[in-house]
Structure 1
């Protein structure tokens, strides 16, 4: 039986990948030390997802390892010799990174290097898939001429009518500290492919989402937005009139592309992976969609100050992916994504309320 090693296995993409490949008959090993709870506090805790994987995936093995621990990473890849590695672990917030630059860089850049070098030494035939980010482009997409519509920004140039391609420059722009650490990791993943011949790729994710996201204000756009709506919390819009646009891709479709790459790997590739133009929405449009599903008005405040390095409009051009992997396509549309997240948060909140009632009566 093939062995898959997944870092960040308790997170959104990591857990989806674990489940997807377990269903394909792989033996799954997950690396996660719940660092998200350290970064974001109790609301970012992912232990519930770890327990879910342990209960639902037969033979799932959890490894409590920090990817910054070079010796531990060398040891696990030496002993396991996985047939493929999917690296999703990261410090994921570009806002938080500025206050913890060493933790951010050591997790995102050095942790990735630890994994790459261990793979080169002990599992050189294993495809290595790295979850990168569209933040590697910095704020350069904001320099593209745009048009302002009633509820969103969009690109004015025909060259970008289907989104940002992989040929877009990552240089001479403001990335945020997070974006810079992810650039370092992205380039190293490419270099281990081109220089050492490892089968590597960087998936430059757009808005990755799904029902198993522990969404918080600093990371997890749709998940956190839905949670705010259901709980009656105030959502903060940061600049751009709330018209900033993102393309949203379900974690299942991310796992499907990873599967395609493992079946037919390449060396040092990069792919812009998002929902594409058809799965775009602005914050204002997201408010309307979630309110139509919950019948609850969105409560929000507007801060006329955008986040540093944030995109005014970003969606992924999927042409390269579809050329290299014609069997892959987006299968979960925006309506499905919103409905599923609303249902997941509704169930969680109902369960939490039940637990509180039980506590108060015991």
Structure 2
């Protein structure tokens, strides 16, 4: 099979491509604009494969998207190209509207024309897989509704707490999540109206190697190592379900190859943690792997929360487990240790991807 992966130089996209090249016999065409968060170094280990091709193309450029589809004739598209940082969307929503909504529309229309031109067997087997986020569902639980053991004392068991299912209504809170919700609706509309065989996945927070340092986990690791403050929004009691990126890549390949057209699959890591727990864990691992005289925890600094910050996300991933036999292989404890070690071993990469674009300054203050 030949797969076209949009946003393949990004964090999740590069993990998907590495998984496909290293574990299957499929071909991959990586279509990426190479914005600040796209980095071909993330694909160095597979870039020499004869089954890998790269096209530097903006998904908003219809003519170039048409050319790539005609030239490479993919059997499926995995659409990951997106602006994806909530804080950046607060500071500058326009790019998120352009890429996530207009770009997805442009790609859908190009794909529809391409799909309709295929001979019947290829047309029947074709898939358009749209990769989205659990943030489209909005704030799952208000802090006043959390059982008291959850507030400030660690998460513990899920118990009777609500979870996002594939039927959860959309109530996005940020410009980022609203733009992704819009793109999800477009994809489903192209399925309903035109019959385009689509798949949609909504995932929880990813972490792992090659993550751009604007996101929580790499930001904490790098700031800690440099003796800088570790900025935690509010009390740090926001809850997220953490998914190791390589587990996510396996799930996405499962969906595009085995999922049923028109279906949505939620992908989660079964690892709900408060943000402050995540930061404490990083500090403690660093103290073991790169000990220093004072505790890394002493660098934690509480800062003003970002506007509209959702309190809790949590995925019910039972559908993908029951229908496609996927479960995460990494626990948070094993995945976060691997992640911290990777950053310790790849500090040069971290420096190169930040040069000229981002120096870990505060984003999304909403002021």
Tell me the TM-score normalised to structure 1 length.
0.84
Partner of 2:194: helix, strand, or coil? coil
| Deviation (angstroms), 1:286 | 1.3
Deviations 1:81-115 (A, max 9, x none): 21111111111012212333222111001111122
| Deviation (angstroms), 1:328 | 0.8
Cα separation, 1, equivalents of 2:185 and 2:224: 38
- Output the aligned Cα RMSD: 2.4
- Contact 2:140–2:164 (CA under 8 A) maintained in structure 1: no
- Contact 2:9–2:38 (CA under 8 A) maintained in structure 1: no
2:309 is matched with 310
- Contact 1:130–1:203 (CA under 8 A) maintained in structure 2: yes
Cα separation, 1, equivalents of 2:350 and 2:19: 28
Do the aligned partners of residues 232 and 291 (structure 1) sit closer, same or farther apart at CA in structure 2, a change above 3 Å counting? Answer: same
1:301 is matched with 301
- Contact 2:135–2:313 (CA under 8 A) maintained in structure 1: no
Deviations 1:135-194 (A, max 9, x none): 21223543882124333468998262xx222222214xx521111111110111122223
Partner of 1:243: helix, strand, or coil? coil
| Deviation (angstroms), 1:288 | 2.3
Do the aligned partners of residues 144 and 54 (structure 1) sit closer, same or farther apart at CA in structure 2, a change above 3 Å counting? Answer: farther
Cα separation, 1, equivalents of 2:60 and 2:146: 41
- Contact 1:9–1:30 (CA under 8 A) maintained in structure 2: yes
Q: 40, 49, 70: which one pairs with 2:42?
A: 49
Partner of 2:60: helix, strand, or coil? coil
Tell me the TM-score normalised to structure 2 length.
0.83
1:223 is matched with 218
Structure 2, unaligned runs of 5 or more: 116-122, 288-294, 352-367
* 1:132 lines up with 2:127 in the alignment: no
Cα separation, 2, equivalents of 1:152 and 1:347: 30
| Deviation (angstroms), 1:252 | 1.6
Do the aligned partners of residues 58 and 234 (structure 1) sit closer, same or farther apart at CA in structure 2, a change above 3 Å counting? Answer: farther
Bigger drift between 104-113 and 122-131 goes to 122-131
Q: 122, 145, 151: which one pairs with 2:114?
A: 122
- Contact 1:12–1:213 (CA under 8 A) maintained in structure 2: yes
- Contact 1:94–1:179 (CA under 8 A) maintained in structure 2: yes
Cα separation, 2, equivalents of 1:140 and 1:336: 26
